[in-house]
Chain A
Amino acid sequence: DIVITQDELSNPVTSGESVSISCRSSKSLLYKDGKTYLNWFLQRPGQSPQLLIYLMSTRASGVSDRFSGSGSGTDFTLEISRVKAEDVGVYYCQQLVEYPLTFGAGTKLELK
């Protein structure tokens, strides 16, 4: 199975700042069709996961442009600019290049 690794954030973030969340894959998520099969989700406290980014860098419908995704075949970053209180929660990355689909352990975003 593909292992997805996510680091913890070192410190809580101040509202209005920017933050980067990283994600690494044990295998390249770049498929032969040229697409990179990496998605990002936010799970707010007590809620279901919400899709933010799919195919590494495409924002899902209705998602703020404060969220952006980037990366290569195995290393990925979710950037959140001008962090707001509503961004608090756990961020998960997920690979879909092969089955079984796997998720990272999550990165918790807290505000100071």
Chain B
Amino acid sequence: EIQLQQSGPELVKPGASVKVSCKASGYAFTSYNMYWVKQSHGKSLEWIGYIDPYNGGTSYNQKFKGKATLTVDKSSSTAYMHLNSLTSEDSAVYYCASTIGTIYAMDYWGQGTSVTVSS
């Protein structure tokens, strides 16, 4: 069974950083790009960027350059998103997703990781 299992909720202080993980199982991890999407409370979805797990190549939404850094650990089939200099604007649910069944759409999603930035 294909699964993307994300790390648990985070409560972090303003100015701190956080690293969200997404552990993949049930498919060839290095064969499919991993995407990251932000959903602020009650709002729509924003594409943050994607990483090619095979070679570590990345593409970011300009809005998130400098805020998010995407990495992978091929040995554990895990993708990571590091968010730095957190403010209240970064409080959101973050999803990882991949294009496994079709290259044309994110058809497998993690369960989401809630990040709350508060003092």
* Closest residue on chain B to residue A52 by CB atoms: B105
Q: Would you call A96 and B104 a contact (CB within 8 A)?
A: yes
Q: Is the interface of A mostly helix, strand, loop or mixed?
A: loop
Instruction: Write out the residue numbers on chain A whose beta carbons fall within 8 Å of the beta carbon of B107.
Output: 51, 54, 60-61
Give the contacts of A19-57 with B (CB-CB under 8 A): 35, 37, 39, 48-51, 54-55
Give the docked Cα–Cα distance between A79 and B107 (Å). Answer: 20
Instruction: Write out the residue numbers on chain B whose beta carbons fall within 8 Å of the beta carbon of A54.
Output: 102, 104-105, 107
Instruction: Write out the residue numbers on chain B whose beta carbons fall within 8 Å of the beta carbon of A37.
Output: 104
Give the docked Cα–Cα distance between A101 and B36 (Å). Answer: 11
Residues of B within 8 A of A (CB): 37, 43-47, 59, 61-63, 95, 97, 101-102, 104-107, 109-112
Give the docked Cα–Cα distance between A54 and B102 (Å). Answer: 9
Residues of A within 8 A of B (CB): 35, 37, 39, 48-51, 54-55, 58, 60-61, 92, 94, 96, 99-106
Q: Would you call B61 and A99 a contact (CB within 8 A)?
A: yes
If A48-B110, A48-B111, A60-B107 touch, does A103 touch B46 (CB 8 Å cutoff)?
A: yes
Closest chain A CB from B43 CB (angstroms): 8
Closest chain A CB from B70 CB (angstroms): 14
If A60-B102, A99-B61, A100-B62 touch, does A92 touch B44 (CB 8 Å cutoff)?
A: yes
Give the docked Cα–Cα distance between A101 and B35 (Å). Answer: 11
* Closest residue on chain A to residue B96 by CB atoms: A48
Instruction: Write out the residue numbers on chain B whose beta carbons fall within 8 Å of the beta carbon of A39.
Output: 104-106
Q: Would you call A49 and B104 a contact (CB within 8 A)?
A: no
Residue from B46, B61, B104 in contact with A55 in the complex, judged by beta carbons closer than 8 Å = B104
